[in-house]
Amino acid sequence: MPIYEYHCQQCGKDQSLLLLTRQEIATPPHCRYCGAPHLTRLLSRFAYHQSEASRLQEFDTRTPRDDSFYKDSRNVGLWAKKRAQELGVDLGPQFEETVEKARSGKILDEL
């Protein structure tokens, strides 16, 4: 069941509510902080999972990245994989293995 976010018009606090039944969704909720029935539903953010293949397909090597991009271990090797793909170069399974070791931190064990 979904989690809905609400803003209380009386006390100004935001809150998330897990609504388990259709009846709970149909019944207007009350503020958990002040008890007021004047809540406005907020538009919530959402996320979705991308596969490695879709991340690689959508990755643009020409777009400049800030330092935080390269601090995320999931991005290690993404640029190199995409450039090899763009250049039509197959670096073989050893390259893939090295990239995965770098992502997981296991490459440091070999040094």
Tens-digit pLDDT profile for residues 19-62: 788 887 778 889 999 999 999 999 877 777 788 888 889 989 88
Rounded Cα distance between 18 and 4, Å, is: 6
**Same-domain status, 59 and 23:** no
- With respect to residue 22, please indicate whether it lies within any of the assigned structural domains: yes
Q: How far is CA 88 from CA 20, 57, 60, 85, 92, in A?
A: 51, 14, 16, 5, 12
In this structure, what DSSP letter does residue 75 have? Answer: G
Question: For residue 21, what are the domain limits?
Answer: 3-41
pTM of the model: 0.46
Number of domains in the chain: 2
- With respect to residue 97, please indicate whether it lies within any of the assigned structural domains: yes
